[in-house]
């Protein structure tokens, strides 16, 4: 069973005691925009992934690389 795409992000945010609003404030975006990122309703650029990872004291690869690999496998399957 595939893990929810941004579950790791949500778990880390919560473990740091950050709310959607606090993350949004740190990123200088709206709470709604951040919620959309975390709930896969908004595309995530590398720049934004880097900012989020920095706030959570980690690297973008630690948060998103496994999920990216899953996406690549999915698309490769249909590319053939």
Write down all domains in the chain, each with its CATH number in brackets: 7-79 (1.10.260.40)
pLDDT score, position 45: 85
The string over 15-24, giving b where at least 16 C-beta atoms fall within 10 Å of a residue's C-beta and e elsewhere, is: eeebebeebb
pLDDT score, position 43: 81
pLDDT score, position 2: 43
pLDDT score, position 72: 61
Question: Could you list the pLDDT tens digit for every one of the 80 residues in the chain?
Answer: 345 557 888 999 999 999 999 999 999 999 999 999 988 888 888 899 899 999 999 988 877 776 666 666 666 677 65
Q: Is the pTM of this model over 0.85?
A: no
């Amino acid at each position: 069973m595939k893990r929810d795409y941004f579950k790791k992000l949500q778990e880390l945010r919560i473990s740091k005691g950050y709310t959607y609003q606090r993350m949004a404030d740190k990123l200088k975006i709206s709470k709604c925009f951040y919620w959309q990122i975390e709930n896969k309703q908004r595309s995530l650029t590398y720049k934004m992934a880097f900012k989020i990872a920095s706030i959570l004291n980690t690297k973008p690869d630690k948060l998103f690389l496994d999920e990216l690999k899953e996406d690549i496998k999915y698309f490769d399957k249909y590319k053939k």
